[in-house]
Structure formats: C-alpha cells, structure tokens
C-alpha cells in the first residue's frame, strides 16, 4: 500500500447554539477566525487559564482554536459536540480522507473503542437489577469452565471496576506495526480469556486497580452465559434500539465501518530506522477488542446515550451508583487513587468532577464526558494518527480543556509501587 500524505483541507461549518449567538466558521489551513472577528463576542483567555465551571456557555473561541489547522500530521479530522444546560456547540474540522481532501463529515461514524465498556457495564447492571446477576458474586459461579480456582474470588463488580487482578495477557500485538500486519485476523474471546487466566494474577482481587480490556472481555461472556444470547444482540436490544441510536452498532467480525465515515490513519515505521509513513487503517477486524472496544457510533448518538445514562434511563435505581463509585484502592502502577468505577472514570477538571470514558482504536480516538448534573457534556471523535501512543493528542486535549478546564493532579496515596 502506498503511503498517503495530508492535503490541505477546509474546516467545515461550525455552529454555536448558546442563547441567540450563532457563529459560522469556515477556513483553510488558517482555521477559525479570532473571536474578535465575530459580532457580539469577546476574546477568550487560554483554555488552561479558564474555569468553565464558572462559564455560562461553552467557549466558542477556545473550542474553535482547538480544531484549527486540520488536517495535521497528528490528526486528520475531528468531530465535536459540547452540550448540557449551559448551551451547545457543534464543530468539525479536517478531511474525510487524505486522498480527496473533502471536508470531514460531522455525522460520520467511527470506532468508539473503549467507550464500548460503558454500554457493557450498563447491560451487566441491568441484569443485576433483574436479579440475574449478583455484582458481589464470584465470576466463577457463572463461568466455572472458563475461570479457574486461582481466580475464584474475583467478583462481577471487580470485573467492571478493573480491580480483578486478571492480567491482560493475550490482548493482542505490542506495536502498531505488528497489529497492522494482523489487522484482518479474527479473535476468539474465550481463547483470549484462557490465555490470561493461565497467568499469575497481577494482584489479589479488590486490592488494586489496573485498567485494561480483559475484565470486559469476561463481562461480555458473562452477559452471553446469563442471557443465552449474544452480547451484541443484548446491547442492541437493551440500549441501542430503545434510545434510538440509529447510527450505532456492534460489528462482529466485519472489518468495515458501514455508512458514512471519515477514514482513519496510523503512523507506522517503515523499517528498522526512524522513517515513518501514514497508512489507512479504516478496515480492521474489531474482534480483538470485542466487548471491551468494538462499538461503532457517532457523536450525536453518544451524546444521546450519555444524557440518558446520567439521567437514570439506562441503569435505574441504586445500581446506577455503581458507575459513579470509585473503589478505595490505589492504581496498580502509579499508586494514585482509583479513577474507574463500573464503566465510567472520573477526573477533576476546572474545579469539578468530570465523569466519562475515552476510547482508542487505530485511526480513531473518542471522548465521552460530562459533569454529573449534565450542566456540561462533551463527545468528540478525533482521527489521531498516533493511537496507542504515550503522547497526548493536542487536538483532543485542546477540546477537553476548552470544555471543562485544566485537569487537577490527583493526590498520592503513598502506597508502595509493585
């Protein structure tokens, strides 16, 4: 496959719906005009110096600035929806594909990655509400042939909040280059779990938190055992269809993204040296992430899901609190306080708690986030070219900081590192 190189593109039309203010932005490489060029607006301070908790409306200037200059080497497209009772802002920038240079489709579908975990956690908690699953029960009670005695104390709740201690062995290749070479291969979730539980535990269950996919791979199999149905059909029947998420689906082994979408690209090394090139990674077998990360969706659908979830329309009653409860244990690697509940994670930004989930697949990065009272919500899809990298994507960070303010450093627990 020949490498593809970014071509200059246009930022699409972006609309601010905050009071009666409407802002239309269109540009080439320069991106959005300064705020002073927009009637009725004033220049905004830098996102890092702002506290959106005190803002009445989304900061259109800061959000527009975060999308300026796309496509860029690190990002080919970005789709953003900021909402909540404080007002709304919708924006898109970049290109649909690097060959044609057409503007990015703001309604395009994308791989939402680990945002899938929020849907899976919600289904498990729905089944708990029906009395079919006990969150405090050992997983082995439901899957005795798959979960060995060495992991007999791992509970369903610990699967969902990443305190189970099952290692992530068998989750896939270690490098983007290896993953790209195997991108069309199918994966059996049961075999992935068997390889993981054949290893020693990372820690005693319930004593630490370590985020990775294995707990949700097991959770998908738990859904199938309890319901006698596929995980995909259960999520569709219980969440996607009732909420009217018409552009969301679980693809199984289908390597395509069905319907309109913006293509994803990944920077890959071309040999033993430092040379790299961009490769189109849109076509990919998602079964390697399965119930931990195979959802395909849109920003509009995820915004609808986020609002319904936080309002108690998806998980009802006291079980919803499971999603907003952080276990009192340290992170296995950093010793920071646990940041993940059942499906959702929490970070303090701009003086308030922000709950949500991020997701990353090659060529696609997703953020789903909101304050608990839904006064501010954010859904974004960023076509990052360095997925799985330790580097932070500047477009994604710029949008998140513009929406919520600067992140606050979590306190140290003082626990000994493993």
Quick: pLDDT tens for 157-216.
999 999 999 999 766 787 899 999 999 999 999 999 999 999 999 999 999 999 999 999
CATH number assigned to the domain comprising residue 125: 3.40.710.10
Spatial CA neighbour of 307 closest among 250, 357, 247, 376: 376
Structural domain count of the chain: 2
Same domain membership, residue 250 and residue 141: yes
Say whether pLDDT at 9 is over 80.
no
- Domain of residue 282: give its range: 110-302
How far apart are the C-alpha atoms of 86 and 361, rounded to whole Å?
31
Same domain membership, residue 180 and residue 47: no
Average model confidence (pLDDT) for the chain?
A: 86
Domain final position from 302, 331, 365: 302
220 domain-assigned: yes
204 domain-assigned: yes
* pLDDT recorded at residue 288: 93
Structure tokens at 262: 């913006």
Same domain membership, residue 122 and residue 237: yes
The residues, any chain, with a CB within 8 Å of residue 182's CB and separated by 6 or more, are: 173
Whole-prediction pTM value? Answer: 0.87
Q: Are 81 and 42 in contact, with CB atoms under 8 Å apart? A: no
Provide, rounded to the nearest whole percent, the portion of the chain with pLDDT above 90: 76
* pLDDT recorded at residue 173: 80
Say whether pLDDT at 28 is over 50.
no
Spatial CA neighbour of 142 closest among 33, 224, 198: 224
Q: Are 112 and 251 in contact, with CB atoms under 8 Å apart? A: no
Q: Tally Cβ neighbours within 10 Å of residue 270.
A: 12
Say whether pLDDT at 12 is over 90.
no
pLDDT tier at 389, thresholds 50, 70, 90: confident
Same domain membership, residue 188 and residue 93: no
Mean pLDDT computed over 209-229: 98
Same domain membership, residue 403 and residue 291: no
pLDDT, one tens digit per residue, over 259-309 is 999 999 999 998 777 888 999 999 999 999 999 999 999 999 999 999 999
Say whether pLDDT at 31 is over 70.
no
């Amino acid at each position: 496959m020949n490498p593809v190189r970014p071509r200059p593109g246009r930022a699409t039309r972006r609309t601010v719906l905050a009071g009666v203010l409407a802002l239309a932005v269109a540009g080439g490489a320069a991106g959005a005009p300064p705020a002073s060029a927009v009637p009725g607006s004033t220049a905004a301070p830098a996102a890092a110096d702002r506290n959106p908790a005190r803002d009445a409306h989304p900061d259109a200037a800061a959000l527009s600035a975060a999308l300026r200059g796309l496509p860029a080497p690190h990002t080919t497209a970005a789709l953003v929806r900021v909402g909540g009772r404080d007002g709304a802002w919708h924006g898109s920038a970049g290109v649909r594909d690097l060959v044609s240079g057409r503007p990015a489709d703001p309604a395009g579908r994308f791989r939402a990655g680990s945002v899938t975990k929020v849907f899976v956690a919600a289904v498990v908690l729905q089944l708990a509400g029906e009395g079919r699953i006990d969150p405090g029960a050992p997983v082995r009670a439901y899957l005795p042939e798959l979960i060995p005695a060495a992991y007999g104390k791992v509970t369903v709740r610990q699967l969902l909040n990443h305190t189970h201690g099952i290692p992530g062995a068998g989750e896939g290749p270690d490098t983007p280059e290896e993953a790209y070479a195997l991108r069309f291969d199918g994966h059996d979730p049961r075999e992935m779990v068997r390889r993981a539980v054949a290893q020693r535990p990372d820690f005693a269950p319930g004593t630490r938190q370590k985020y990775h996919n294995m707990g949700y791979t097991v959770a998908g199999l738990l859904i199938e055992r309890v319901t006698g149905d596929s995980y995909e059909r259960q999520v569709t029947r219980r969440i996607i269809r009732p909420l009217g998420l018409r552009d969301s689906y679980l693809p199984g082994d289908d390597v395509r993204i069905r319907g309109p979408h913006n293509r994803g690209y990944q920077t890959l090394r071309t040999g033993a040296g430092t040379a790299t090139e961009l490769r189109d990674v849109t076509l990919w077998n998602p079964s390697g992430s399965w119930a931990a990360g195979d959802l395909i969706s849109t920003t509009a659908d995820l915004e609808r899901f986020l609002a319904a979830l936080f309002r108690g329309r998806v998980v009802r009653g006291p079980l919803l609190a499971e999603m907003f409860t952080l276990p009192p244990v340290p992170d296995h690697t950093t010793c920071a306080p646990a940041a993940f509940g059942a499906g959702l994670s929490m970070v303090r930004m701009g003086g308030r708690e922000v709950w949500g989930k991020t997701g990353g697949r090659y060529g696609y990065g997703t953020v789903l986030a909101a304050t608990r009272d839904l006064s501010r919500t954010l859904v974004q899809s960023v076509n990052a070219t360095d997925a799985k990298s330790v580097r932070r994507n500047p477009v994604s960070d710029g949008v998140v900081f513009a929406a919520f303010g600067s992140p606050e450093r979590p306190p140290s627990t003082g626990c000994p590192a493993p």
